[in-house]
Chain A
């Protein structure tokens, strides 16, 4: 331990802060001793145990989709994370992969639902992935002279163009709005992947391989050049790096991995439609990358898994309820210290609720006549606590706005005022949840996902596993 105040100690302070204590430090030591592969092997083993132990078909399908998003997020990471190219046309490459696989491995090239190419997976997937890489080169060349926002707008157009093409051009082959269906499962060499577990394991193998390949690439001259390009293109060019070539390469690699994900998607769902490849999905992939930590391989994978798992949980009212109350409690536990303040706030919330319920109920019995949206034990626990009127829709809408205003006020306040305000905020949020949000899971999913993203990014601006990054000073 260097002496406090000495040059070296000061210089290491940032490192110490980042390294932290406990688990983080243990992992860092492990890394220093063995390198990167034990971590990957551990993650792969966990994935394998999950895949082999559960017989739940739904769970395996969710697991597959989680890994699929992780693959897509890894591909996007090359362009958007490493090279700093805001590629909003990424979804077009995913669609290209899916449609490519669909065309080569279905009757789309035949007539009247028979004939067609029906290539084996080991033929069609390489063809499609390499073709996507070449398309990536073309798009990259077009986008060469653009940077930042301008690049984003032009590539967004590429994504839109893909949608229009598959929707309108050649309905005979591409199917138009009806898409392509009856796509073959992954097959070839007398093997055939047809079960959810099979697809999960295929995705797991691909993502482990991809993570290893990308790590080796990241630590090579190409990876360094990409990251140099992101930090300062002019300086990179002055340091012997052919910036244009590397940008095109980044586009191309990113496109190829996106297309690989697309082929898996097409094989697993056995049908593709233009609406599978819209901006909504693109934004979800970006959310994976940003939440996990752009620029980090582990982050991109974790982001993909977390975002899709959240999306699934939020779709089920019971799970969404656990998530909602769980996150509120977790935030309170993490943010309020010492323990007696936390206890006071929690008690305050409970008492405030029963008081409010009793007072409002005494004034007007119809104002508390409704039933909370939650069922099960949460529902019965909060029945006499939250205020749910007999007609909750308009009331819930107003509460929603009110809660947002209260949260904004919370962010601005400090000290005791903040603690006091936490009580009505949490209570009203719960009322809003029980009377309005939980009733419409489809809308709530998006809102909750957004809230979770915002809160996480506010707490960790670099994403969960991303490292701290500075812009040009």
Chain B
């Protein structure tokens, strides 16, 4: 993949985006694009501002300056649920499932924005409420089937808190899919997983793009995953984009190496 600008306008575009908390600058004039069907990874050391990028895109924080455009429309300052309805769904680094709801309910809850039945319609089970409920059921079963047998069968009716750690991560992704996104933001999808599960996550991310046609922005620390999935890699440090491009180029870029490991003492001595 080259880092030249794509021909058609990108699906997601951050334009000189800055975010400050009082005097603390979390993000500084960040430019970032994600095109349709593209998988972009964001890497950087802890505290680099990766999750802040997600939080600004999804509306948890309002940007201090700059703009966020999705499908050509500015979404900066919109509320979280509005942004998700437009087609940006996310998962959380520190799993935030609806613990006391069943697996299926977790997914069905995420369809609220795409259904319309009012409480009286639901209570009387009027045609629209019944139709929506059927559709939502089918959608829930479809997104849960995406993970093969992992989230199927008897697990549908288990509360989320009994799931294993890896299954909770999978359920986070399934729940995000139920909002029918065009762009999926994955915050460390492989964190805390064993090598087998990590491999599976890598494969799932590829299928999300190939089978569902999603654009994906992913934060990940596991460089094997990043290497395996990324069309393009963006490296952040201290809220500033230090470089961007193909995995090999970024991974060996001196600024990236320095951000992760500090400066090479020998190189320092030579300088």
A complexed with B:
yes
Asked if A459 is at the interface (CB within 8 A of a chain B CB), the reply is: no
Question: Cα distance A228–B111 when bound, in Å?
Answer: 12
Q: Identify which of A178-186, A232-240, A437-445 touches chain B.
A: A232-240
Output the nearest chain A residue to B98 by Cβ-Cβ distance: A231
Question: Cα distance A154–B101 when bound, in Å?
Answer: 29
Report yes or no: B98 in contact with A240, Cβ–Cβ below 8 A.
no
Question: Cα distance A315–B95 when bound, in Å?
Answer: 50
Report yes or no: A228 in contact with B154, Cβ–Cβ below 8 A.
no
Q: Identify which of B35-43, B102-110, B218-226, B258-266 touches chain A.
A: B102-110
Q: Mark B51-93, 1 if CB is under 8 A from A, else 0.
A: 0000000101000000000000000000111001100011010
> Chain B residues with Cβ under 8 A from A240's Cβ?
81, 84-85, 110-114, 179
Report yes or no: B98 in contact with A235, Cβ–Cβ below 8 A.
yes
User: A234-262: which residues lie under 8 A (CB-CB) from chain B?
Assistant: 234-243, 249, 253
Given that A220-B117, A222-B119, A222-B122 are known contacts, is A241 also in contact with B109, CB under 8 Å in the complex? yes
Query: Is chain A's interface secondary structure helix, strand, loop, or mixed overall?
Result: helix
Report yes or no: B155 in contact with A225, Cβ–Cβ below 8 A.
no
B interface, how many residues as a size bin? Answer: 35 or more
Partner of B112 from the list A221, A234, A235, A470 (CB cut-off 8 Å) is: A221
Asked if B123 is at the interface (CB within 8 A of a chain A CB), the reply is: yes
Report yes or no: A235 in contact with B96, Cβ–Cβ below 8 A.
yes
Given that A11-B162, A12-B154, A237-B79 are known contacts, is A224 also in contact with B112, CB under 8 Å in the complex? yes
* Cβ distance A226 to chain B, nearest Cβ, rounded Å: 10
Given that A224-B109, A237-B79, A240-B113 are known contacts, is A217 also in contact with B123, CB under 8 Å in the complex? yes
Asked if B99 is at the interface (CB within 8 A of a chain A CB), the reply is: yes
Output the nearest chain B residue to A222 by Cβ-Cβ distance: B119
A interface, how many residues as a size bin? Answer: 35 or more
Output the nearest chain A residue to B96 by Cβ-Cβ distance: A235
Asked if B132 is at the interface (CB within 8 A of a chain A CB), the reply is: yes
* Cβ distance A35 to chain B, nearest Cβ, rounded Å: 13
Asked if B182 is at the interface (CB within 8 A of a chain A CB), the reply is: no
Asked if A189 is at the interface (CB within 8 A of a chain B CB), the reply is: no
Report yes or no: A231 in contact with B99, Cβ–Cβ below 8 A.
yes
Asked if A8 is at the interface (CB within 8 A of a chain B CB), the reply is: yes
Report yes or no: B132 in contact with A221, Cβ–Cβ below 8 A.
yes
Asked if A170 is at the interface (CB within 8 A of a chain B CB), the reply is: no
Q: Mark B147-163, 1 if CB is under 8 A from A, else 0.
A: 00000001100100110
> Chain A residues with Cβ under 8 A from B169's Cβ?
none
Report yes or no: A11 in contact with B155, Cβ–Cβ below 8 A.
yes
Report yes or no: B115 in contact with A221, Cβ–Cβ below 8 A.
yes
Asked if A1 is at the interface (CB within 8 A of a chain B CB), the reply is: no
Given that A220-B117, A232-B97 are known contacts, is A239 also in contact with B112, CB under 8 Å in the complex? yes
Report yes or no: A225 in contact with B90, Cβ–Cβ below 8 A.
no
Partner of A221 from the list B79, B84, B106, B111 (CB cut-off 8 Å) is: B111
Output the nearest chain B residue to A234 by Cβ-Cβ distance: B96
Asked if B100 is at the interface (CB within 8 A of a chain A CB), the reply is: yes
Report yes or no: B158 in contact with A232, Cβ–Cβ below 8 A.
no
Partner of B161 from the list A8, A235, A238, A470 (CB cut-off 8 Å) is: A470
> Chain A residues with Cβ under 8 A from B205's Cβ?
none
B residues within 8 Å of A by Cβ?
58, 60, 79-81, 84-85, 89-90, 92, 96-101, 105-106, 108-115, 117, 119, 122-125, 129, 132-133, 136, 154-155, 158, 161-162, 164, 175-176, 178-179
The 8 closest A-B pairs by CB, nearest first: A240-B113, A220-B122, A239-B110, A235-B96, A231-B98, A237-B80, A228-B109, A224-B109
- Can you report 24 residue pairs joining A to B where beta carbons are below 8 Å apart? A8-B154, A11-B158, A14-B158, A15-B158, A216-B122, A220-B122, A220-B133, A221-B115, A221-B132, A224-B112, A225-B112, A227-B105, A228-B98, A228-B106, A228-B112, A231-B97, A231-B101, A234-B80, A235-B96, A238-B80, A238-B89, A239-B113, A471-B99, A472-B99
